[in-house]
Amino acid sequence: MSTEIFSAAKLAAPRLAAAGRAEKDAALLKIADLIESRKNEIIEANDADVCAAREKGMREVMLDRLVLTAERIGAIACGVREVAALPDPVGVVDRGYVRPDGLRIERRRVPLGVVGIIFEARPNVTVDAAALCLKSGNACVLRGGREALNSNGALAGIMRDAVESAGLPADCINFLADTTREGANAMMHARGFIDVLIPRGGAGLIRAVAENSTVPVIETGVGNCHIYVEKTADAKMAESIVVNAKTSRMSVCNAAESLLIDREALGMLPGIADALREKGVELRCCPECLAVLDGRASKATEEDFAAEFLGPVISVKAVGGVDEAIAHISRFGTGHSEAIVTSDYFAAEKFLNGVDAAAVYVNASTRFTDGNEFGLGAEIGISTQKLHARGPMGLEALTSMKYTVRGNGHIRK
Amino acid sequence: MSTEIFSAAKLAAPRLAAAGRAEKDAALLKIADLIESRKNEIIEANDADVCAAREKGMREVMLDRLVLTAERIGAIACGVREVAALPDPVGVVDRGYVRPDGLRIERRRVPLGVVGIIFEARPNVTVDAAALCLKSGNACVLRGGREALNSNGALAGIMRDAVESAGLPADCINFLADTTREGANAMMHARGFIDVLIPRGGAGLIRAVAENSTVPVIETGVGNCHIYVEKTADAKMAESIVVNAKTSRMSVCNAAESLLIDREALGMLPGIADALREKGVELRCCPECLAVLDGRASKATEEDFAAEFLGPVISVKAVGGVDEAIAHISRFGTGHSEAIVTSDYFAAEKFLNGVDAAAVYVNASTRFTDGNEFGLGAEIGISTQKLHARGPMGLEALTSMKYTVRGNGHIRK
């Protein structure tokens, strides 16, 4: 069954790649309309998923991610309309020049072809991902988690109807209902059919896909992000940034998981610690920091410094300057987002230049690493790899390029 | 042993990434100088390879690729000096803007980290690849073919000496002397050590690496390139382009392997066929073309249309217009370089827009798909995949990017 779906996607891809902006936007607006007008159908399918999940004892926080209400469905439709309003990345010429022999060379953006998305329990990803693929001229194959099977199936069916009624092949959007390991495996080995695979979810999923796929993968999202409070930092700014980065939304990849603090700035630690504890955050500290905090914190293990807690815990370590901070980040960081709080020009520059991550901040919270916050419109994920795309991936990350060369009978000497 | 080499490369990478242009160029010039001054050592090592290959009965054409003469060594050194003269891709800011809240975002080019190159018998690749990696701030791990083991080892040793004497770690350039399958496998599974793997060589090697590597791969080079002679083509231009694309250098990936000719342009075929035969090229034709050629050609099989001959054979097929040409290319092409010869504006535009390949030409030979011809300086290969880089890859393809974000105490609302 999966093979048929992959073939259908591959067949639809050139038609979608050739579609102009008007045609793609019309299909997106139709998707938004149909999602709203058929919301009862979606809620019914979602109810079945939620009931089953509740019976299986799914945790409340996960359950909350699964639930679709009329309001949330409205927000999903709204998101699709926002994608329709974004500029079309396809056809943009980002480079063009004439060679000495008169050959005219241009490089333009083209769709990737077929994009596969493997994701977990959040049904809104089904629509977000499909909309971004459609806008960038890519056919997609979506495979969500078992827990959201009914919801995802309903959403995908509605999107296929919408795309077809807008005059594009329904197979521009494909839904793989096989939520077993075999389904994921089939996608990971669909070379020649799927051009790129984007896993969205936990670290385990992403690792499994990256290690097993023969289709090229874009890795997303694992973030062990650090805030380094340098000795010249403004104490109030440091506290505000650390609290924001750690607590404004704990479950996301751009949240801070570790605080590095200069030995000469340890005087700021009690204040920062109080502010964090007020938000319910547990501090796991190196011995030096523990001493400063008079035992009102626990002792950090090596694992704590490597952990992406995604919850109310932060690791804390004293360091002896920027170089030591960079070395620690290089050892424990995941190349996502790293920040320094400082008033020192040279410390700021050293940190910006020396830290190897998708986004490096001076005097700002790591929570800004996000497609919308970076002004990219929507995002398909945050790449933590170095190939193709790094950091928040907008529509451009869903394109490749093509050289066009215009001659006048040119032959190579 | 391979693990030690990978670790050494990873350790050297940050030092090289932080090196400025002056430092990298000094190392490159030192490499060029040492290659010239120690050429006897290289020739001696190469003699051992050539003798062994001759004893094993290596074909003359392959043997020729293996041989290093004083002149060829001079050309290799010259190539390194040309790389030194290229602009440094690292640090270039390709995008920068201020967000409404005043956050200042820039995107700059950074090295990938550690680049692995798996290649076959040509020892010059050892130096070319190392020079491009060094210039782009990447440590490299080189693993060449068994036939050139002594030559490659000598060249790598000399380059390591040069890099060290220029004040950079010798481990910026690493040579894996294990030419067994295990050596290649170790590289393909060195996740966390090697950031990207570039196979350079025949289709079999590239396929094996792409399918087995868990390290991200950039696929290079397989080219089943077509020239489509549209019915409004200028006959003389068509003949000149077909002959150039097929015969100017038959063993390379941008050489034409297939001629598509419009049914209404079959009158041009005998002239083109004569010109090709004069260069010793055998034509394998569809029945229609065979009839026009009065039997002075052989019959093409389905395999012929899919073949990358890399030699004096071309497949020939009559088609009924641009759409049919595009469909044939979509079925048999490898996404490398495709050309149309035409005088018709609409045919040209349709071909440029409809053909999915790294480079699409109007009225020019496919032989221009090359880093130097495209003005990129040198090239590390020609990518035929869609992720990260497509077409000739210059220094820029050996970089990733990093967002730097400067704030003033910014926190996310």
| ipTM of the modeled complex | 0.93
Q: Are A400 and A112 in contact (CB under 8 A)?
A: yes
Pairing of strands B93-98, B104-111: antiparallel
Q: Are A172 and A163 in contact (CB under 8 A)?
A: yes
Residue of B nearest to A373 (CA): B99
Q: Which of residues 113-172 of A touch B (CB under 8 A)?
A: 113
Give the Cα separation of B222 and B211 in Å (integer): 15
**Spatial CA neighbour of B392 closest among B408, B380, B404:** B380
Which of B195-199, B208-212, B362-366, B384-388 has the highest mean predicted lDDT (pLDDT)? B362-366
Q: Specify the pLDDT at position B343.
A: 98
Q: What is the pTM of this model?
A: 0.92
Tell me which chain A residues have a C-beta less than 8 angstroms from the C-beta of B374: 99, 105, 403
Q: Does B210 touch chain A (CB under 8 A)?
A: yes
Residue of A nearest to B217 (CA): A216
Tell me which chain A residues have a C-beta less than 8 angstroms from the C-beta of B385: 216
Sign of the torsion formed by the C-alpha atoms of B140, B143, B144 and B147: positive
Tell me which chain B residues have a C-beta less than 8 angstroms from the C-beta of A342: none
**Chain-chain contact of B361 with A391 (C-beta, under 8 angstroms):** no
**Chain-chain contact of A362 with B388 (C-beta, under 8 angstroms):** no
**Chain-chain contact of A244 with B412 (C-beta, under 8 angstroms):** yes
Residue of A nearest to B196 (CA): A387
**Chain-chain contact of A391 with B403 (C-beta, under 8 angstroms):** yes
What single-letter amino acid sits at A180? Answer: T
Give the Cα separation of A89 and B169 in Å (integer): 42
**pLDDT tens for each residue of chain A, 413 residues long:** 789 999 999 999 999 999 999 999 999 999 999 999 999 999 999 999 999 999 999 988 788 889 999 999 999 999 999 999 999 999 999 999 999 999 999 999 999 999 999 998 689 889 999 999 999 999 999 999 999 999 999 999 999 999 999 999 999 999 999 988 899 999 999 998 999 999 988 888 888 898 889 899 998 878 999 999 999 999 999 999 999 999 999 988 999 999 999 999 999 999 999 999 999 999 999 999 999 998 789 999 999 999 999 999 999 999 999 999 999 999 999 999 999 999 999 999 999 999 999 999 999 999 999 999 999 988 899 999 899 999 999 999 999 999 999 999 999 99
Nearest to B388 among A97, A99, A388 (CB): A388
pLDDT tens digit sequence for A344-364? 999 999 999 999 999 999 999
Q: Does B364 touch chain A (CB under 8 A)?
A: yes
B36, pLDDT greater than 90: yes
Task: For chain A, state the CA radius of gyration.
Answer: 24
Q: Does A60 touch chain B (CB under 8 A)?
A: no
Give the Cα separation of A256 and B412 in Å (integer): 13
Q: Which of residues 72-111 of B touch A (CB under 8 A)?
A: 97, 99, 103, 105, 110
Structure tokens that stand for A187 in this block: 């996608």
**DSSP SS3 for A23:** helix
Give the Cα separation of A9 and A116 in Å (integer): 10
Q: Does B43 touch chain A (CB under 8 A)?
A: no
Interface test with A, best of B209, B368, B396 (most A CBs within 10 A): B368
CB-based contacts of A57, cutoff 8 Å, min separation 6: none
**Spatial CA neighbour of B406 closest among B40, B11, B104, B102:** B104
Q: Specify the pLDDT at position B18.
A: 94
Residue of A nearest to B101 (CA): A373
Give the Cα separation of A385 and B214 in Å (integer): 13
Pairing of strands B196-200, B173-175: unpaired
- pLDDT above 90 coverage of chain B, percent: 86
Q: Does A237 touch chain B (CB under 8 A)?
A: yes
Angle between helices A70-85 and A39-55 (to 10 degrees): 120
pLDDT tens digit sequence for A132-166? 999 999 999 999 999 999 999 999 999 999 999 99
Helices assigned H by DSSP within B177-311: 181-188, 203-212, 235-247, 269-278, 287-292, 302-306
Q: Specify the pLDDT at position B126.
A: 93
**DSSP SS3 for A81:** helix
Interface test with B, best of A356, A373, A386 (most B CBs within 10 A): A386
Q: Could you tell me if residue A363 is left (phi over 0), alpha (psi between -120 and 50 degrees) or otherwise beta?
A: left
Q: Does B331 touch chain A (CB under 8 A)?
A: no
Give the Cα separation of B196 and B216 in Å (integer): 5
**Chain-chain contact of A375 with B97 (C-beta, under 8 angstroms):** yes
Tell me which chain B residues have a C-beta less than 8 angstroms from the C-beta of A195: 386-387
Nearest to B360 among A218, A356, A402 (CB): A402
CB-based contacts of A269, cutoff 8 Å, min separation 6: A261, A289, A292, A293, A316
**DSSP SS3 for A180:** coil
Pick the range with the lowest mean pLDDT from A265-269, B53-57, B203-207, B365-369: B203-207
Structure tokens that stand for A226 in this block: 């650090």
**Chain-chain contact of B360 with A403 (C-beta, under 8 angstroms):** yes
Give the Cα separation of A276 and A206 in Å (integer): 30
Q: Are A231 and A262 in contact (CB under 8 A)?
A: yes
Helices assigned H by DSSP within B166-216: 181-188, 203-212
In angstroms, the separation between the Cα of residue A406 and the nearest Cα of chain B is: 5
